[in-house]
Amino acid sequence: MPRYGRYKTALYDQFARVGKALASARRIELLDLLLQAERTVEDLAGQTNMSIANTSQHLQVLKQARIVESERRGNHVVYRVTSDHAGNLLTSIQQFAEVGLAEVDAITRRFHDGCEEMEPVDRVQLMTRAKTGDAIVLDVRPKAEYEAGHLPYAESLPLEDLEQRLASLPKDKQIVAYCRGPYCVLAVEAVERLRERGFNAIRLEDGVREWQEQGLPVEYEESA
């Protein structure tokens, strides 16, 4: 094989490692979760309803392609993405599927069928309203994800704690809930519950990653 041919084959073999690593719905789901915050294998297994053994096997495939990396902390192994490029990779996959696969739109429409139309949210205006207290922005992801990065002026209220916190939420202000982005269902469920109880609630389609991609600021805070 000519020198150029060997070079080309070797290079494309490496590109294919990334494609093969993401040729699994479960591994894409794991990547999506790790883009929110670093996690232990046990936490990822619980979030995805997989066994710890299967979760670990999928993570090893992602690690071999250098999409994620791991670190042992005591009795646990913690995984995180290797760089911001992992987020760009997932965004590209989602955008390509949105444009090229009619099934993506059909699945999304079926899921939202019967729900009230989602109102468009002006991002900059939302920050201004949240800063002045005219709107309440709720991050309904788990607390660890909120601490790893959240929208400015957002309050952490994990979906699992919503029922216990309803009495503390104002009914005279608009509540804007967000989670992990356009395909995450946590904010959808939060808005449905809030509306059922008489709150003026809407969903922000953005997650932290989408917010950052628009060049908007993100806040961080240390775990207690």
Give dist(CA 177, CA 141) in Å, integer: 10
Question: In angstroms, how far is the first alpha carbon of the chain from the final one?
Answer: 60
Distance of CA 50 to the CA centre of its chain: 18
Between CA 177 and CA 201 the distance in angstroms is 7
Closest CA to 124 of 207, 211, 36: 211
The residue written with tokens 């150029």 in the block is 4
Task: Tell me the β-bridge partners of 176.
Answer: 137, 202
Catalytic residues: 179
DSSP tag of 197? T
Contact 147, 222 (CB under 8 A): yes
